Structure 1
C-alpha cells in the first residue's frame, strides 16, 4: 500500500474544515465526509462522527425522506434530546430513532450490545449470579447465534466492546461492594 495522505482534498466552509476521506478497501471507494468542530444544534456540544448507513438503519421509517447522504454526528450529551445531527442542519431527536441511546439520561433499556439486544442489567446479572466476566460467554448465554452488525445496529456504528466491558466492571463493583 502506498503512503498517501488520507486527505484527498480540503475546503473551508464557515470556519469548519470539511475533509472528504477515502479509507482503505473496506469502503470500496465510498467517500466519508468528516467535518471538524460541528456542534450539536440543541446543546452546543461536539458529537461523535457516525456514517449515514448507521443513521439510515436506526431512524424511524417515516423520517427517511429527511435523511441526506452526508455523515452525521451522535450527540453524546446525556441530557440533550438530540440523537443525530449533520453539518447541514438536519437533526434527529431521540424520539426519531428506533432504539434507546444507552448513555442518555432517560434510556430504557440501556443496551450493552445492540446486535443481541443484551441490556446492561442482563450483563450485570450474568456477572453477579453466574460469575461470568467474559463478553463472549455472556453473549452466548443470551444469544448463542449472535452475529455482529454493530455498523448497523449500534448507534455509534462501532463495536460495543467498550460499553459491554463497562457493564461487566459495574457488576464486579456491585459484587465486591455486596461482599463487604
Structure 2
C-alpha cells in the first residue's frame, strides 16, 4: 500500500516530531509563535503521553538499510485529561497531534496512523475517543468524519474556533 513504517516514539525523535508539527501547521497558516507554548507537550512526549498511559506513534519512510527513516507522520493518544476542553472520562482517550508532512499528504498516512491509534486504544481498554481540530484543517476534518467521528460542539478559544469530535470504539 505504501512505504510508511509506523512505530512507537523514541527519545531521539524529539526534534523531528517538533519539526513535523511546525511544518504541518505552517503549511495551513496555523502556526503562531505567540501560542507555541501551548505545544509544550511535544517537548515532553515521554511524561505527557507514554508515562501517562498513552501512545505516541511516528510514521517514517525510507531507512530500509537499517538506519532511521524520515518521520513524515505522527499521532498520539492521551488518557482523557482534565485539560484541553475535554471532559475527564477514564473510558476515553484523546487523539492528539495528528500530523502528516505536507509533501507526503494524500497517500493514506494519516489514515494509517489513526487506524493504529484506534486499535491501540481498544487494546488499552478505552471505549471512546475524543479529539479536536480547527476548521482550517480541512484534511483533518475530512479524515475524522470519514472514520465516523461525530462533531459534538464548536468552541471559540484564544487561538480560534475549535471543532470537537467523538467516536465510540
- TM bucket (normalised to shorter chain) is under 0.3
Q: TM-score by structure 1 length? A: 0.26
Structure number with higher strand proportion: 2
Taking structure 2 as the reference length, the TM-score comes to 0.27
